[in-house]
Structure 1
Amino acid sequence: MKHPTISLPRLIAHRGLSRQAPENSLSAVRAAHQAGIAWVELDVQLLGDGTPVIWHDLGVSRCSDGRGSLRRYDWPQACTLDTGSWFGDHFSGERMASLEAMLALLVELDMGVNLELKVNKGRDPIALVDSVLPRAMQALSPQRLILSSFNQGALAHARDHADTSRLALGALFGSLPGDWHVQCQAVDAFSVHVHWPRLKRPQAKAISEAGYPLICYTVNDPSAFAPRWGWGVTSAISDDPTLFKNFPPHHLSV
């Protein structure tokens, strides 16, 4: 089972540099790049007309001036939403990022991405994969892309369309289930992604011994997280990786 040769950084920016710019926005990715961060984690799902966009929530109210569920919007309507003012006046007029625009920016900045297939309630994982996978694989080299999801069906469908040499899949969990290894083997996963406060040391050891890179989310307290580096954690996803710059261990770099 040959996976792409991916050099994961210790720190990955969650939804872009989301502590300093609106999450999942082009501005947040540019901010991450300007801070010297090589990889970002982003969410992708579909509008009602099937357009893939970089967005986390089921609805639009938290991160825009709109209301209602994402599926009620087509692309022209989504383009009218202000997705920056909620974060700060400086970002007034920010627009929702299409997957196409985000991929173009990642290519321009030579960045890697952990792209989460966000299968919210009532949404179709198969349609999401069919829309996102060809675009992402065409734009980015296998060394610059991890496609992750909580949804096993989405991962399985993605694997059906691309073997391990061409696509790295990340198995995403909250608490690590007892059958995590079976789930990972079923989709030939590249990496395991776990909510860090729920991770136990024996679990981390088992993941490491099985040969999977271990990625923890969402880490915003470098002090509390520090012992986990010794457990074999490969990467931490953080709203602000720059918090780690002046925190031991000093060999860590953004």
Structure 2
Amino acid sequence: MPPHPDIALPRLIAHRGLSAHAPENTLAAVRAAYDIGCHWVELDVQLLGDGTPVIWHDPTLKRCSDGHGRLSRLRLAEARGLDVGAWFSDAFRGERMATLANMLDLLASLDMGVNLELKVGRNRSGTELADAVIPRLLDAIPPERIILSSFDMAALHHARSLADASRLPIGVLTESIPQKWQPRCETLDAISVHTDWTRLTAQRAREIKDAGYRLLCYTPNDPAAFARHWLWGVDSAISDDPGCFAGIAPPPALPPAAG
């Protein structure tokens, strides 16, 4: 097996950009994360109806824009006309939906790392999404600043067929970690496991770390409640508000797991 890249994961990763202080999954949210010294972000990518990959979480437009309807029925020209910032605050009025190309250009210019989630909606193709995303991602960002994740195993398997582990680090994304979690990781030659922090147990965390995988948790925003998870070996917390951890600093980063 090819070795994994030597990824220097930070303790804190900004969830959908600095989403506690800027509209999620926007260029503004990524710039805001960078401005507070957070150099890794977690973002969601899916396809418009015309096949354009965009940075967006929901299957619909209503929650985070002034539009309505399903993302899968939208063309790029229509997407560019949406305001995706005013819902958050007037300070972000006029913010536009970021295409994957827009976002990768920004991340590359700021030397930022990204945990990019392939968001596969109902009746959407994870294979088509991976085909649209992976070549662009690998062209723009070096492997040591990438982790690709998804709840959709078919999408991850197709992504792995497009690039080996030395070029494309993959993280297995799950809510509760199943008892037979390790075969999932092995079939993908994954580098990490990503889980809901409220469902993680000390035993499962120990299993993951003993097996040599990185362990990332989403989405803790209470550093005191999360404190014991650092002791369990968690590598990174994916938080809406990484700045809130400033008063309760996590321990120093662990050395990277052997590839």
- Correspondence for 2:206: 205
- Correspondence for 2:6: 5
Written as runs of structure 1 = structure 2, the 5 A alignment for 1:65-104 is 65-104=66-105
Q: Does 2:28 align with 1:27?
A: yes
Distance (Å, rounded) in 1 between the aligned partners of 2:87 and 2:55: 17
- Correspondence for 1:219: 220
Q: What is the one-letter code of the residue matched to 2:137?
A: A
Q: Does 2:167 align with 1:154?
A: no
Extract unaligned runs of 5+ from structure 2. Answer: 254-259
- Correspondence for 1:121: 122
Extract unaligned runs of 5+ from structure 1. Answer: none
Distance (Å, rounded) in 2 between the aligned partners of 1:103 and 1:5: 21
1:122 to partner: Cα distance: 1.4
Give the SS at the match of 2:157. Answer: helix
Q: What is the one-letter code of the residue matched to 1:70?
A: L
Distance (Å, rounded) in 2 between the aligned partners of 1:93 and 1:76: 15
- Correspondence for 2:168: 167
Written as runs of structure 1 = structure 2, the 5 A alignment for 1:130-141 is 130-141=131-142
Q: Deviations over 1:139-184 (max 9, x none)?
A: 0000111110011001100111111111100100000012210111
Q: Deviations over 1:76-121 (max 9, x none)?
A: 0000100000000000000000000000000111100000000111
Give the SS at the match of 1:27. Answer: helix
Distance (Å, rounded) in 2 between the aligned partners of 1:120 and 1:240: 26
Give the SS at the match of 2:247. Answer: coil
1:43 to partner: Cα distance: 0.1
Distance (Å, rounded) in 1 between the aligned partners of 2:32 and 2:171: 25
Distance (Å, rounded) in 1 between the aligned partners of 2:167 and 2:108: 17
Q: Deviations over 1:42-65 (max 9, x none)?
A: 000000000000000010100000
Q: Deviations over 1:223-252 (max 9, x none)?
A: 100000000000000001000011144657
Q: What TM-score comes out, normalization by structure 1 length?
A: 0.98
Give the SS at the match of 2:41. Answer: strand
Q: What TM-score comes out, normalization by structure 2 length?
A: 0.96
Q: Does 2:60 align with 1:59?
A: yes
CA RMSD of aligned residues (A): 0.9
Distance (Å, rounded) in 2 between the aligned partners of 1:167 and 1:72: 30
Distance (Å, rounded) in 1 between the aligned partners of 2:38 and 2:67: 31
Distance (Å, rounded) in 1 between the aligned partners of 2:23 and 2:249: 28
- Correspondence for 2:256: none
Distance (Å, rounded) in 2 between the aligned partners of 1:106 and 1:225: 28
Give the SS at the match of 2:109. Answer: helix
Change in CA separation of 1:194 and 1:250 when aligned onto 2, cut-off 3 Å = closer
Distance (Å, rounded) in 1 between the aligned partners of 2:185 and 2:81: 40
